[in-house]
Amino acid sequence: MTADTSFGPNAAMADLMEFQRQTEALSSVSERLVWDQETMMPRGAAEQRSEELAAMEAVLHERRTDPRIGEWLDAADPETPREERILALIARDFARASAIPADLATEIARQTSLAQGIWAAARANDAPQDFLPTLDHVVVLKQDEANALVAAGFGGGDLYDALLDDYEPGATQAELAALFDTMRPRLVALREDILGAPDQPAALEGRFPQEMQLRLARACATAFGYDWNRGRMDMAVHPFSSGRWQDSRISTRVVEADPFNCIYSTIHEVGHSSYELGIDPDHAFTPLGRGVSMGVHESQSRIYENQMGRGRAFAGWLHQRMSDMMGGLSIDDPDAFYRSVNRVVPGYIRTEADEVQYNLHIMMRFDLERDLIAGRLAVDDLPEAWNARFLKDFGVAVDRPANGMLQDVHWSVGLFGYFPTYALGNVYAGCLNQAMRAAVPELDESLARGEADPGVEWLRENLQRHGGLYEPRPLIEQATGAPVSPEPLLTYLEEKFGAIYGL
């Protein structure tokens, strides 16, 4: 790639863009260190890696708050809407970074790197007491960050909103709470109807070896257009994707009794990674060269995983591939297999939750983390609060900490404000699916052949290629031609699961 020289004679703009290019490159290097930590790093290197990430954050924070950025922004004279958008994003990042003291930013990077390893060990040992002191430290650091941001005018005076803005610019907890309050009654009613239905789908039974699952996961990633020349797949405790431009990687995990865990985690992460790989190459090494928000990012992972991946058409193809690999399955009928893929059952784990209950998992986490940041909930009381809320929302008592408050990596690495973007992403995905189905009527025929290309290409053209060019909601509304609403998602869920369960 070569430096973007499309900014004409404006020296301030050119200098700013060259400086930003180097910052973006260093940020990508830091992100790669995190990927390595999650997938390949020796466990004994945790302390060293925390120092490396802290050092990188110190360098990045110094660059992001360099006084010359303010001078360049004042002097730059944008000539196109694209240049105006780039300047707006740099200005927003500059103001946000400048609000956070350098020593605080460095300490957050150091402690969250250490916390990830402590969380993973506590999860493996079902030992929340080993993690809670570390989590308490992380929460205090994030509260300090939020206070610094609020003092600089972010979040409208609200600590949680100041953190949320980093993941979904412009969103507020009040807006999201109102959205979730609208969605919850219909989701709960649908779940109750489903669980009370007389005809319940059978579970797929058997032992599915790791090697077979990984081969199948690669086949599914390929079916959804994953570019193996610019990506790779590895194993991780918590599946994730990482990277952008010419290098975006995915990870998955294997449970030998549950192949759907691996398959759909993989398709989910392919959605994330394909978004980054689908951005216009001209946006690389600029603020436009990454997904515009986590809500939009989740819309891609969820529409790949659910509306396409868990649909009847692709499930039929998947059934045949799995049958061929295993020499037969406990469910030999494609329609019964489709129903099994979409079983609605009480369960502890968010990443394994069906489409009906998934958002209820998110709403619970959203409420708990708001209370943590506001100081209404002490970290030491989190396990009890989690268990009580889970029993209330799902009617099931948590059996062990690894299935409770230790199941997600997010809080250990400081991602407060991230969780609600999963549910918002589902809302966006519902809107996109409605528009995509109208524009690509042949999609199911293609998915039945194990080819998601028509849907992937529609998403790339209408959303992915833009990167950060537009704000999140305007981007979704431009792609769909309609206002953002939870109605398409809720209608899709009621129709799909109504048919599956004979409601």
Give the DSSP letter of residue 350: G
Contact, 81 vs 88, CB < 8 A? no
Tell me whether residue 269 is one of the annotated catalytic residues.
yes
Two tokens, residue 353? 């939750």
DSSP per residue, 377-402: S-GGGHHHHHHHHHHHHHS----SGG
How many of the other CB atoms lie within 10 Å of CB of 229? Answer: 8
Q: Long-range contact list for 70-77, CB < 8 A, 24+ apart?
A: 70/94, 71/12, 72/12, 72/13, 72/15, 72/16, 72/19, 73/16, 75/12, 76/10, 76/12, 76/13, 76/16, 77/10, 77/12, 77/13
Per-residue CA distances from 471 to 160, 169, 223, 288, 409 (Å): 20, 8, 30, 11, 27
Identify the active-site residue in 57, 107, 269, 276. 269
Per-residue CA distances from 379 to 372, 391, 398 (Å): 7, 19, 18
Residues in the chain: 503
Instruction: Please give the Cα distance from 355 to 30 (Å, whole number).
Output: 34
Annotated ligand binding at 272? The verdict is yes
Task: Give the catalytic positions in this structure.
Answer: 269
Annotated binding site: 268, 272, 298
Annotated binding site for Zn(2+): 268, 272, 298
